[in-house]
Structure 1
């Protein structure tokens, strides 16, 4: 998969290019991350990419021309979706990550300053936010998307199945995990995990996922396709929630 990142600060991405899972994925040619400096496409002799807003106001606005030309330099006649990292977009989640992971190539546009010229939206397919808070620019959001989408691409993780049990992949938060030692400062690994009974372990893990999700993110339970066993367990625990 190809990630084309339009940014004013390409050096910010050195960390994800040179470390851990993403570095190995790049070396194995499973993903490609192209960093495009928007400044390279400005027609301003001083390499400015921003200007004061018409009508007055605080801050600077990214100009439409450099953004437009940078996007067009990648797309040409190709149909590649453009995602803008902006505060007015849909909140990013695992469902969006899964849809993105099925694409061959995408463009991630990192906003900055007080935003972009409204006319730049003419070449943007979708605006995405990673949460209701303010950041300096869209680079960190783009990194989060690259990381979460890459994990879903076959071969990127050591075992293709390993992401399936992670929080949010199946809709619920992940169950508790334990490793050695068996006992630490009086805290012991639950006996069920040592039993070797895989059916009972799976049942325990599912129930613990329900417990954790109910207490930390009950909104996710409303969206989950619950089984009859899940509903029976929820009723036994006395959990109260209503499906949307």
Structure 2
């Protein structure tokens, strides 16, 4: 995969792209991570990339020329089969689709991703209409620029690429990948202070451990993110766990009221 990031602050990505999982993926040549300062594509003598909005209003707006110029000047990425890969051009924007694990899995299947990191009040609308393929947001809040959201999305996508994680099952069982939050984890020692690891995890019975983990995932999702269960078709056993949990909560509520 090739990933290009258009930004006014390429230095922000130096540590992120060179460290941890992203750095290892880059070293293994599983992914090519590149930054482009789109200021060099400015078409005026002062190298400005923003201007006042037509119609007035506060703030400055990113001009279309530097963004179009930077994207169109990117090298054509060729797939292993020798065919040109049309890039997904992603605009980081609070108005965009909320980024999810499902979207990360979709983008992980692409050959070439281009991220546009904006600043100021917004983008010239022609960038949205005629250049980008996706608009993504990492949440319902506003940041200074698109750099941090780009880092978040890139990290989420790259870790899904084959060969990036040491254990390929890690990404498969992550929270949201299964539609549920991940089950609790424990490691040595088996007893820390007065807190012990659940006996089931020490049993060595793989099928029972698998069942325990699924139950814990269902209950944890019910407690913390019940909205995730709305679209899930529960098995007979999962429905039983949910009913038992709801009954227990109802009994606890009744006791507190008394």
Report the TM-score, using the length of structure 2 for normalisation.
0.89
In structure 2, the CA distance between the partners of 1:78 and 1:150, relative to structure 1 (3 Å rule), is closer
Distance (Å, rounded) in 1 between the aligned partners of 2:85 and 2:220: 44
Q: Assess if the C-alpha contact under 8 Å between 2:8 and 2:39 holds in 1.
A: yes
Match of 1:62 in 2: 62
Match of 2:15 in 1: 15
Match of 1:162 in 2: 170
Q: Assess if the C-alpha contact under 8 Å between 1:83 and 1:106 holds in 2.
A: yes
Per-residue deviation, residues 12-54 of structure 1 (Å, max 9, x unmatched) = 1012122111111101000111111110111111111011111
Distance (Å, rounded) in 2 between the aligned partners of 1:74 and 1:62: 19
Aligned ranges for residues 1-244 of structure 1 at < 5 Å? 1-74=1-74, 79-121=86-128, 122-238=130-246
Per-residue deviation, residues 53-83 of structure 1 (Å, max 9, x unmatched) = 1111111111111111111112768521111
Q: Assess if the C-alpha contact under 8 Å between 1:172 and 1:224 holds in 2.
A: no
Report the TM-score, using the length of structure 1 for normalisation.
0.94
Distance (Å, rounded) in 2 between the aligned partners of 1:193 and 1:13: 40
CA RMSD of aligned residues (A): 1.4
Distance (Å, rounded) in 2 between the aligned partners of 1:4 and 1:135: 21
Distance (Å, rounded) in 1 between the aligned partners of 2:15 and 2:152: 12
Displacement of 1:232:
2.2
SS for the counterpart of 1:106 is: strand
In structure 2, the CA distance between the partners of 1:177 and 1:79, relative to structure 1 (3 Å rule), is same
Number of aligned residue pairs: give it.
239
Distance (Å, rounded) in 2 between the aligned partners of 1:34 and 1:12: 12
Q: Assess if the C-alpha contact under 8 Å between 1:89 and 1:128 holds in 2.
A: yes
Distance (Å, rounded) in 2 between the aligned partners of 1:132 and 1:85: 13
Per-residue deviation, residues 64-109 of structure 1 (Å, max 9, x unmatched) = 1111111111276852111100011110000000000001111111
SS for the counterpart of 2:96 is: strand
| Structure 2: runs of 5+ lacking an equivalent | 77-83, 248-258
Give 1 or 2 for the bigger CA radius of gyration: 2
SS for the counterpart of 1:83 is: strand
Distance (Å, rounded) in 1 between the aligned partners of 2:18 and 2:87: 26
Distance (Å, rounded) in 1 between the aligned partners of 2:59 and 2:75: 30
